[in-house]
């Protein structure tokens, strides 16, 4: 499977949409139970050999915005519809949990926010959300710039050392972004400097080992790791247990230190501390110091581990795909660089100047549209529910029984030919054009001008057609952190370098686990800008 940005292009014409609508007439006329849902069948082989979400897209175009995917004894309801997504994620959010995803992640994240049961989640979410307050985010901008500077310095030194005549170097930017994102998340969440841009350490290796295992588990069909003794007998499971221990020991030590230096205060006071002089501004510090938020070390460790994993690969992937897209569009890269030159020139980025990098922000957002991380949101119905009728498919909606497993395909929503013009094209400017949709009833229209204060387009102004960070109560807690981080890192890279792909875009193969990444790296040529 090649990952050209145009690989799944479907022309968006009204006739097309009408043809599709008439194909779906059968669904409109049938009843409203899960049994009457269109079924994707005969293509189970599609599950192997190429990422699942590509097949889910083809079936979406064929069967409509809500269909059942059956393979073997298992079945999933696949949702590619903003109205139905809004129902599941926001309106009736508490009728669902994370299902299969929680089963996979629980051994790693314990009772961290992502897999947590509802009772634990309610308590912890209330405590963690205020940690991402505006002063913290502003202070983090300094961390983002410092860490990005380290990466830039490394690239400059490599150029100096290896190839100073041509002022260019080839390197795998995906790996570099991964190191950068790890350093940033370590400092932001628990004030620990992995220093992974410049060195390797047992903890870094253990983090990568754990991520690797999480990915293996999310793509491997049979959960053999739950079998008794598997963790002792299967070598990769033994290694995984060792990796977990290394990270947990490190986190336990950090928690112990934070607790020993505890300075209890009220939430409001913590949010107004003088962040310019604080030595440790991390979330861990905030969570430990918050009055009334006493929590056992185990829960705290689960929270930190969850944010470490949730905030690392996702951000690295956004930077990877934004660079991949820009490298194929030199005119857009130049436009981005012109913005950087005029807003910050040769200076460093500050929280203030960051606000003026409008185009870079849209590049990040457009990369998130084309390559959402993760491409699927996973849910399981805790009780029977009725999904609303979507914009196509059964107008009455569908009754679904308790235990139904659901994939909300963010990838399909983000590339839906029903909502986006040229859905597979990289067009950051699209977010500047107010847009309604005369084709589909219930589509509120996408109009960024309705929310001028919002720095980044989001699921609210797009009414769930664009949900890079999910939506409703389980929406990403780190969304602003991640957006600011990616904007800073991309801007600083483009300030100093022109980026070209080493080979053709077709050679960059896409694989997917929890996030979408390349099969063998994003090999680029970096040239120093004069
Ligand atoms: C949840 C995406 C960065 C922490 C989520 C969800 C999405 C998402 C889509 C919702 C999952 C669902 O509904 O099933 C992203 C993307 C990121 C990013 C695309 C980077 C570009 C971060 C960062 C952090 C973080 C930097 C922490 C510092 C979390 C946590 C949750 C979450 C804790 C679970 C929230 C809950 O269930 O209450 N993220 N995320 N994420 N994210 Fe992020």
The full set of domain ranges for the chain reads 1-109+376-421+444-467, 113-373+471-530
Instruction: Reduce the DSSP state of residue 41 to 3 states and report it.
Output: coil
Whether 207 and 182 have beta carbons less than 8 Å apart is answered as yes
Instruction: Write the CA distances from 306 to 229, 285, 453, 482, integer angstroms.
Output: 25, 16, 30, 15
Average pLDDT over residues 140-165: 90
Q: How far is the CA of 469 from the centre of ligand 1 (A)?
A: 6
**Binding site annotation covers 476?**
yes
Per-residue pLDDT reduced to its tens digit, 28-44: 333 467 768 888 875 55
**Taking 90 as the threshold, does the pLDDT of residue 3 lie above it?**
no
Instruction: Reduce the DSSP state of residue 357 to 3 states and report it.
Output: coil
- Matching CATH number, 113-373+471-530, of 1.20.58.100, 3.30.950.10, 1.10.630.10, 3.40.50.300: 1.10.630.10
**Taking 60 as the threshold, does the pLDDT of residue 230 lie above it?**
yes
Mean pLDDT, the chain, integer: 85
Average pLDDT over residues 121-125: 96
Q: Which atom of ligand 1 is nearest to the CA of 125?
A: 38
**The most confident of 46-55, 332-341, 462-471, by mean pLDDT:** 332-341
Among the listed ranges 183-197, 202-216, 256-270, 489-503, which one has the minimum average pLDDT value? 202-216
Whether 254 and 303 have beta carbons less than 8 Å apart is answered as no
Residue whose pair of structure tokens reads 């980026």 in the numeric block:
499
**Taking 80 as the threshold, does the pLDDT of residue 168 lie above it?**
yes
| Nearest protein CA to atom 3 of ligand 1, as residue | 311
Per-residue pLDDT reduced to its tens digit, 458-497: 888 788 999 999 999 999 999 999 999 999 999 999 999 9
| Nearest protein CA to atom 5 of ligand 1, as residue | 476
Confidence at residue 501, expressed as pLDDT on a 0 to 100 scale: 96
- DSSP secondary structure letter of residue 46: G
Q: What's the CA dihedral at 23, 28, 29, 34 to 10 degrees? A: 110
> Would you place residue 446 in the very low, low, confident or very high pLDDT band (cuts 50, 70, 90)?
low
- Picking from 321, 327, 368, the residue whose alpha carbon sits closest to that of residue 494 is 327
- Mutational pocket test of ligand 1: of 476, 486, 490, the residue with most ligand atoms within 8 Å of the beta carbon: 476
User: In the structure encoding, which two tokens stand for residue 348, read together?
Assistant: 């460093």
| Nearest protein CA to atom 11 of ligand 1, as residue | 470
Confidence at residue 46, expressed as pLDDT on a 0 to 100 scale: 59
Output the ligand 1 site: residues, CB below 6 A: 113-114, 125, 189, 306-307, 310-311, 314-315, 318, 373, 377, 468-470, 474, 476-478, 481-482
Average pLDDT over residues 128-157: 95
Confidence at residue 30, expressed as pLDDT on a 0 to 100 scale: 39
* Helices and strands, counts by H and E, the chain: 19, 13
Q: How far is the CA of 359 from the centre of ligand 1 (A)?
A: 23
> Would you place residue 12 in the very low, low, confident or very high pLDDT band (cuts 50, 70, 90)?
very low
């Amino acid at each position: 499977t090649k990952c050209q940005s145009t690989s799944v292009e479907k022309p968006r014409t009204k006739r097309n949409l009408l043809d599709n609508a008439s194909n779906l007439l059968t669904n409109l006329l049938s009843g409203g139970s899960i049994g009457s849902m269109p079924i994707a069948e005969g293509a189970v082989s599609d599950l192997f050999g190429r990422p699942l979400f590509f097949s889910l897209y083809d079936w979406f175009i064929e069967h409509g915005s809500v269909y059942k995917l059956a393979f073997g004894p298992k079945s999933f309801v696949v949702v590619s519809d903003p109205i139905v997504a809004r129902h599941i994620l926001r309106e009736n959010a508490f009728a669902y949990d994370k299902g299969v995803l929680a089963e996979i992640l629980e051994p790693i994240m314990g009772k961290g926010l992502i897999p947590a049961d509802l009772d634990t989640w309610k308590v912890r979410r209330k405590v963690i959300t205020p940690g991402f307050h505006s002063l913290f985010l502003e202070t983090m901008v300094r961390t983002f710039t410092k860490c990005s500077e380290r990466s830039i310095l490394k690239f400059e030194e490599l150029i100096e050392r290896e190839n100073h005549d041509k002022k260019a170097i080839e390197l795998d930017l995906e790996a570099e972004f991964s190191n950068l994102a790890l350093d940033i998340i370590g400092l932001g969440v628990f004030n620990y400097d992995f220093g992974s841009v410049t060195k390797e350490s047992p903890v870094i290796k253990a983090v990568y080992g754990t991520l690797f295992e999480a990915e293996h588990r999310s793509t491997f069909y049979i959960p053999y790791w739950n079998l008794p003794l598997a963790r002792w007998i299967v070598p990769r499971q033994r290694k995984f247990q060792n990796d977990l221990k290394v990270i947990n020991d490190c986190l336990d030590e950090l928690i112990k230190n934070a607790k020993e230096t505890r300075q209890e205060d009220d939430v409001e006071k913590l949010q107004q501390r003088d962040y310019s002089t604080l030595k440790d501004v991390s979330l861990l510090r905030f969570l430990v110091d918050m009055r009334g938020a006493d929590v056992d070390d185990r829960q705290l460790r689960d929270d930190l581990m969850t944010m470490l994993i949730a905030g690392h690969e996702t951000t690295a992937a956004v930077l990877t795909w934004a660079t991949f897209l820009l490298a194929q569009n030199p005119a857009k890269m130049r436009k981005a660089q012109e913005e950087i030159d005029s807003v910050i020139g040769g200076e460093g980025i500050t929280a203030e100047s960051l606000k003026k990098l409008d185009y870079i922000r849209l590049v990040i957002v457009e990369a998130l549209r084309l390559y959402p991380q993760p491409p699927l949101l996973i849910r399981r119905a805790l009780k029977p529910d009725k999904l609303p009728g979507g914009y196509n498919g059964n107008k009455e909606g569908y009754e679904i029984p308790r235990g139904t497993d659901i994939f909300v395909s963010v990838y399909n929503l983000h590339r839906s030919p029903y909502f986006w013009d040229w859905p597979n094209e990289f067009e950051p400017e699209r977010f500047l054009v107010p847009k309604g949709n005369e084709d589909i009833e219930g589509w509120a229209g996408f109009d960024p001008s309705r929310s001028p204060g919002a720095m980044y387009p989001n699921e609210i102004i797009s009414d769930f057609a664009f949900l890079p960070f999910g939506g409703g109560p389980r929406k990403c807690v780190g969304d602003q952190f991640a957006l600011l981080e990616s904007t800073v890192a991309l801007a600083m890279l483009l300030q100093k370098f022109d980026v070209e792909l080493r080979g053709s875009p077709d050679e960059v193969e896409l694989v997917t686990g929890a996030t979408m990444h390349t099969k063998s790296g994003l090999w680029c040529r970096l040239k120093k800008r004069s």
